[in-house]
Structure 1
Amino acid sequence: MNDTTPTWLVWIERALAVAALMVVGWVLLTESGGILHSHPAYAVLLAITVGGALTVGIWSLLSRRGRAGWRRAIRILGAVAGAGWIFLIAWLCPFSADEPALDAMRSNPLVAVEESSTLITFTPTGETSDVGLVFQPGARVDPRAYAAVLRPLAEAGHPVVIVKQPLGIAFLATNGYSLAVGSGVEATQWAIGGHSLGGTVAALEAEAVADGGESLMLANGTEATGLGLLLFASYPAGDMSDYSGSVLSISGSEDGLATPDSIMASVDDLPGTTSFVVIQGGNHAQFGSYGNQPGDGASQITDEEAQEQISEHALDWLTRLTPQDG
């Protein structure tokens, strides 16, 4: 027997459709740069959200009757799932890059910058080192945000590849090393680095390479070598104290997310030869250029000062890497 669909359910469906369209509009207006220059997966989800919202909205306007029982239960469950989807879409909104990272994305006589749907590459135009760096961004951070910090490494001759993670989540890009090696960048030896959650995934990749679980051949027939792990405000998910490569951990004294206590707690999980550097006065977001981050501490130095120190320490470490470290 048919009965009239409850008015409250119809209005909830319409409200969710409107809310979904508003969230997509807000995301596009506030973070369009981060969406356009990140992995396309999030843009695809936004398109799906718009299509779903329009379908639900139109259907709720045309539908006048509904069947009681399991059909109505499905609509109620659909409304709950829709609310969860809208929350997820809003949460996945990226932290878009700002200056000086945007300026560092431009090619010049020293460095050629190329961007694809999955990678950003900084290739030295002059004498090039065999040692490159593949870098995993922090969660939901526009990959361009690290350009100003990492570009000095490329200017010194080290190829740099920044991974674009699906939905800005590093655990969805555990193939970052293989993507970098297969990108055609002329480096035979690699350090793997990352910021925050990206550093945690970089640690997993570095271990896999060291254990021979990710042995990759280059176009010239030689095998790519993993030399070390570079952590920006990050630490491994588990014990990797027997890791054979070189490790540099750079953190900020005012970091409210990867706090000094959490960095210290990771000491036993890293090799005894790990170098620990603390940027005095630096916080979590200063490892990139993407504005303030919720939960972070207040920095006591300027972004320029913090990023200059980070770049200097990273470059010094990268320059000293040799095949014997891997």
Structure 2
Amino acid sequence: MLVRLLLALACVGVPAWVLATRWSTVLNDHPAYLVLLVALVVVGATLGLRARRPRPSGRWRTTGRVAAAVLLVAVLGAVGWLRPFAATSGDPLAVGTPTTWELRPSGPVSDVGVVFYPGARVDPRAYLALLRPLADDGHPVVVVKPPLDIALLVGAPPFDDHPEVSRWVVGGHSLGGTAAAMVDDPRVAGLLLWASYPADDQSSRDLPTLSVSGDRDGLATPADIADTAPRLPAGARLVTVPGGVHAFFGDYGEQPGDGVPATDRATAQRQIVEASRAFVDELG
């Protein structure tokens, strides 16, 4: 009974902690995480109601209860780990849908759009300010809201939602860049990697590519970028931001495991934006 009661409290407590500390992020993100939190609360309430009921004995029933308890603890740990890094900036003109944020040009629209995948566990709004200049240049920008903020869980990119755009640059930060590199569609006109690299060899791919990284990054380290450079499509352009770290590629504060910056965020982001803007503008 005590174990069941403790699990019930955890099933309610973990979602309560996440919502208390990340309410805005969860509310404005892909609905999958919120659904998972609500499901945990329901499980917790059910366990709490059953905590005082007598349970049938038996070796198999006991084994099943232990296995279920272990699984539930694992799920609780995963849910806590998935608590996203909250965005510290945004864009008041961004248009939200359940699965995307869109930055729409105010003037003439280019036939080249941008689909961007966030880094793991990062609030997608953290990239809106950095991508706004691309929309100002006429490129429709779609920032994907991945399920559970894990870009590898995204299905097909939202190209079909924008039939007015004929060509797309796919890009992303960290794990989001790895996911972007996996997109295989004839409408892809370019690949934009921020502190990221492909998971497999793409050197035979004829695709304009820009890789922007920081030389103080503690997660996608300079050694990682150098070692994986041969995987990039032939002719890929590599730009290094002096003093830049992993968390400078979005507005979400510091990130555990990152390096120590040798420049300020604004200076680094100006270089990231300028390189990305020039790359996308060249394509259309």
Fold agreement, TM-score > 0.5: yes
Q: Which residue of 1 aligns with 2:185?
A: 209
**What's 2:231 paired with?**
269
- Distance (Å, rounded) in 2 between the aligned partners of 1:252 and 1:52: 44
Partner of 1:42: 33
Q: Does 1:321 align with 2:283?
A: yes
Superposed, 1:164-313 pairs within 5 Å as: 164-176=145-157, 179=158, 181-184=159-162, 186-205=164-183, 208-210=184-186, 225-313=187-275
Q: Give 3-state SS (helix, strand or coil) of 1:124's partner.
A: coil
SS at match of 2:182: helix
Aligned length: 284
**Partners of 1:81 and 1:142 in 2: how far apart?**
27
CA-to-aligned-CA distance 1:220-251 (integer Å, 9 cap, x gap): xxxxx321100000000010001111000000
The residue number in structure 2 matching 1:106 is 92
Aligned partner of 1:93 among 83, 86, 110:
83
Give the drift of 1:271: 2.5
Give 1:8-87 correspondences, 5 Å limit: 10-61=1-52, 63-87=53-77
* Alpha-carbon separation, structure 1, partners of 2:123 and 2:255: 13
- TM-score computed with the length of structure 1 as normaliser: 0.85
Q: Which residue of 2 aligns with 1:127?
A: 108
1:123, 1:185 within 8 Å by CA — same for their partners in 2? no
Whether the 8 Å contact between 1:33 and 1:97 is mirrored in structure 2 is: no
Q: Is the 8 A contact 1:249 1:274 kept in 2?
A: yes
User: How far 1:185 sits from its partner (Å)?
Assistant: 6.4
Whole-angstrom distance in 2 between the partners of 1:64 and 1:174? 45
Cα RMSD, aligned residues only? 1.2
Amino acid aligned to 1:298: V
Distance in 2 between the 1:189 and 1:77 partners? 50
> Retained in 2: the 8 A contact 1:256–1:295?
yes
Give me the identity figure in percent. 43
Q: Which structure 1 segments of 5+ residues have no match?
A: 1-9, 108-112, 211-224
Matches within 5 A, 1:127-166: 127-166=108-147
For 2:200 and 2:45, locate their aligned partners in 1 and report how far apart those are by CA, in whole Å: 45
Q: CA deviation at 1:186?
A: 3.2
1:277 to 1:128, Cα distance in 2 relative to 1, 3 A: same
2:169 touches 2:192 (CA, 8 Å); kept in 1? yes
Structure 2: segments with no counterpart, 5+ residues: none
